[in-house]
């Protein structure tokens, strides 16, 4: 019943105002039943596409990312944070849980986190722990995670809120030689964005030249 109730509240449309729906869903986010928690988180994510999620609810989502045992629920909470980040600047309390998610033991959580961090770059200046988490993700054994992480670095470059460190430049150079073409394409796109903002180091120019051969 609670799973259905959470879904009904999430899809209540104009019958319930957005803030009211989010407040009701917040009560389900730490429910003892896993399916109820998952339904609530997914509905928060759906609402985050259209409304600005209030800070207290972002705090709860961050706690879910850190404390939840189910990988599916953690991944859904990370996705919700990423969607919320497109509408508003994230509070600093959310950054460490996102960094932890990028290193999560669950591949799905890491995959979603690698995208969510890039979405956060549009409105927020990212702290070093998130950039470090992205650099680690750019070397993940799973190619989808590398692909997402390089895309996120491209978003960081495009947003222009962060200086791009030597460590990030070195990580991009490695991705220009990635076995998977899609990763190389994302890396080249990020480098193109960098070229519009600064003079590329010779090491990166050489890596680009090698990628073209």
Q: For position 19, what pLDDT does the model report?
A: 65
Question: What is the distance between the alpha carbons of residues 189 and 210, in angstroms, rounded to a whole number?
Answer: 15
Question: What is the distance between the alpha carbons of residues 125 and 119, in angstroms, rounded to a whole number?
Answer: 11
pTM: 0.88
CA atoms within 13 A on the CB side of 12: 18
Q: What is the pLDDT of residues 65-78, one digit of tens each?
A: 999 999 999 999 99
Q: What is the pLDDT of residues 137-160, one digit of tens each?
A: 999 999 999 999 999 999 999 999
Q: What is the pLDDT of residues 21-51, one digit of tens each?
A: 777 888 889 889 999 999 999 989 988 898 8
Is the Cβ–Cβ distance between 36 and 6 less than 8 Å? Answer: yes
Is the Cβ–Cβ distance between 6 and 39 less than 8 Å? Answer: yes
């Amino acid at each position: 019943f609670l799973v259905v109730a959470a879904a009904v509240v999430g899809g209540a449309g104009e019958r319930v105002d957005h803030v009211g729906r989010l407040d009701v869903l917040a009560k389900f986010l730490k429910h003892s039943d896993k399916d109820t928690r998952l339904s609530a988180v997914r509905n928060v994510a759906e609402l985050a596409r259209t409304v600005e999620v209030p800070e207290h609810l972002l705090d709860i989502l961050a706690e879910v990312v850190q404390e939840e045992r189910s990988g599916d629920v953690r991944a859904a909470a990370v996705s919700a944070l990423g969607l919320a980040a497109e509408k508003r600047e994230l509070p600093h309390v959310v950054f460490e849980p996102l960094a932890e998610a990028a290193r999560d033991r669950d591949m799905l959580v890491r995959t979603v986190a690698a995208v969510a961090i890039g979405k956060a770059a549009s409105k927020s200046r990212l702290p070093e722990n998130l950039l470090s988490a992205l650099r680690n993700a750019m070397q993940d054994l799973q190619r989808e995670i590398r692909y997402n992480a390089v895309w996120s670095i491209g978003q960081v470059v495009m947003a222009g809120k962060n200086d791009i460190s030597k460590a990030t430049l070195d990580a991009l150079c490695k991705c220009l030689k990635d076995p998977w073409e899609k990763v190389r394409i994302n890396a080249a796109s990020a480098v193109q964005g960098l070229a519009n903002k600064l003079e590329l180091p010779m090491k990166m120019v050489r890596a680009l030249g090698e990628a073209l051969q």
